[in-house]
Structure 1
Amino acid sequence: MNKRSFITMLAAAALAVVTGGSTMAETTKSTAAGAKTGHAEINGVKYYYEIRGEGEPLLLLHGGLGSIDMFGPVLPALSKGRQVIAVDLYGHGRTALTERKMSLVDMGDDMAGLLKTLGYGKIDAMGYSMGAGVAFRLAVQHPDAVRRLVLVSAGFAQDGFYPEMLPMQAQVGAAMAEMMKPTPMYQAYAAVAPKVEDFPKLLDRMGEMMRTPYDWADDVRTLKMPVMLVYGDSDMYRPEHIVKFYQLLGGGLKDAGWMRETMSQNRLAIIPNRTHYDVFFAPELAAMALPFLNGETKVKTWDEQVKAAQ
């Protein structure tokens, strides 16, 4: 495998998957950046979290082989007027692996337990790639916990990827660990992981999860809360899949009407000049997501615009 193919496979592996706990949370502390940090044991996993800002709570979940830190460029905007609860997902960042498998369904339950442990009721949730998958499962399995949902660069079924991505994902496993050591992904992991030697195990767990077929179309149809889908215009998901996802949510099925009377409550956003691997830190992401999360959906109709100009 040449270097270019390997890096492509690595990126696909790291970021591709959409794919009752303890009541004891450790005492939090303030970091230099103003965040409160801590660990909470949920269903046998000691989750690391950071809380920033004040206001309506927003659960923020990162992509595969990443951590909270990957949202660094957009965190200030998201936490301005919001209380952001960012979590290092199972086996990622400062949250260690256990003997448990990697499962979006399990992590969805874990997030519900974590929110309860931290004293939150209903929250908004936003996730990228694998984190979007976890946020999606949280909303499906615990709908009363989620007010609004933003899914960034996520699919609802395995066939949503471009076909050439699937063989690459199938190769993910511990055998890649040594080759990955020079990459920023490994170096970021090694800088914060409780047990750096678990990296090969993490790759095995990720590979196992990505090789497992899934199709959650029926689950998409159950979502009642407002949902926003966000993608880069050069994302790793096929455009047909993106449109189908939006249609399953009730969007894109008919004209919205002169007065927006048949417009869906859900939204689809495409960020230009962005791919799956850089959409999560696009400045436009917060600018698009926050008005939706804040319920700022009212815009002037054509009639209102004409009257305002008179």
Structure 2
Amino acid sequence: MPTTITDSISGYANVNGLKLYYEIHGTGSPLVLIHGGGSTIQTTFGRILPILAKTNKVIAVEMQAHGHTADIGRPLSFEQDADDIAALLKQLNIPKASILGFSNGASTTLQFAIRHPEMTDKIVVASTFYKRSGAPAWFWDMMSKPSFEGMPQIYKDEFLKINPDTNALHRMYERDVARMQSFPDITDEQIKSIKAPAFIIIGDKDVVTPEHAAEMHRLLTTSRLAILPAAHGEYIGEIMFPPDSVMYSATASMISKFINEEQ
């Protein structure tokens, strides 16, 4: 059962054999937040979550093997993550929600919109590509020779604050790397099938090229596109970066406006 935390709640939902951790903050139309690879709710969204919760009922999750959600014996996939989110929303009696995903979480967001269109209100996809050619060559070169030592220490520290099991941390890292190394393209036809209004956000120094973001924008006929002067996640105040409240507050305001405006 959920546990009350000041004006918010947190809990675990049994979905598809997984004990999925979630938090609910604020009131209004529902907005699901899906973090990036190797991350938690706080590392990805800790700085903008309070802003988004002023205008929406924010449901923040930690996916399989991440943060409070333990790993189980099944492969990681964006499709499975999307189905887990759908099952959570059904348990929470939320028939339709907007979804905001960052990086890997944005890949899950695309799959959610493709696989569960009837449950999708709007989507915000931040710093993602839908096919391998959308990432610059240096990214795939880095993914071809990963090392646990190269994982940013702040992610390791934040994981271990929640779960002190170093084996679980290593396993999460290995699982995320393997998922990206075998990244499956989404077809143009599948992207075109998404009818939900979409907001595409990237930085101009991101792991996705501006050209690819523009291509996605053209395929998603009801989409908006923002290319911001920032690195991967910097524009949402992701924990890797020093706080720049002007930038992440502006991004959060754009997201809130998009989610809540009439289409």
Using the TM superposition, name which of 188-197 and 198-207 deviates more: 188-197
| TM superposition shift of 1:151 | 0.6
What aligned pairs does 1:169-208 form with structure 2 within 5 A after superposition?
169-172=143-146, 176-177=147-148, 179=149, 183-193=153-163, 195-208=165-178
SS of residue matched to 1:50: strand
TM-score, normalised by the number of residues in structure 1: 0.77
1:275 lines up with 2:245 in the alignment:
no
| TM superposition shift of 1:167 | 1.8
Q: What one-letter code is carried by the residue in structure 2 that aligns with 1:287?
A: S
Asked whether the 8 Å contact 1:66–1:93 carries over to 2, the reply is yes
Gaps of 5+ in 1: 1-26, 251-264, 298-310
Once the two structures are aligned, what percentage of the paired residues are identical?
31
- Aligned CA RMSD, in angstroms, stands at 1.6
Change (3 A) 1:182 1:289: closer
| TM superposition shift of 1:197 | 2.1
| TM superposition shift of 1:181 | 8.0
Q: Which runs of 4+ in 1 moved over 4 A?
A: none
TM-score, normalised by the number of residues in structure 2: 0.90
| TM superposition shift of 1:296 | 4.8
Of the three residues 13, 18, 27, the one matched with 1:40 is: 13
Asked whether the 8 Å contact 2:200–2:217 carries over to 1, the reply is yes
Asked whether the 8 Å contact 1:157–1:215 carries over to 2, the reply is yes
Which whole-Å CA distance do the structure 2 matches of 1:271 and 1:96 have between them? Answer: 34
Which whole-Å CA distance do the structure 2 matches of 1:63 and 1:285 have between them? Answer: 17
Of the three residues 56, 62, 65, the one matched with 1:82 is: 56
Match of 2:244 in 1: none
| Number of corresponding residues | 251
| TM superposition shift of 1:158 | 1.2
Of the three residues 110, 116, 137, the one matched with 2:90 is: 116
| TM superposition shift of 1:129 | 0.5
Change (3 A) 1:74 1:277: closer
Which whole-Å CA distance do the structure 1 matches of 2:94 and 2:151 have between them? Answer: 38
Match of 2:28 in 1: 55
Of the two, which has the highest radius of gyration?
A: 1
What aligned pairs does 1:1-310 form with structure 2 within 5 A after superposition?
27-32=1-6, 34-70=7-43, 71-172=45-146, 176-177=147-148, 179=149, 183-193=153-163, 195-216=165-186, 217-250=188-221, 265-272=222-229, 274-281=230-237, 282-296=248-262
Asked whether the 8 Å contact 2:55–2:256 carries over to 1, the reply is no
Which whole-Å CA distance do the structure 2 matches of 1:75 and 1:190 have between them? Answer: 22
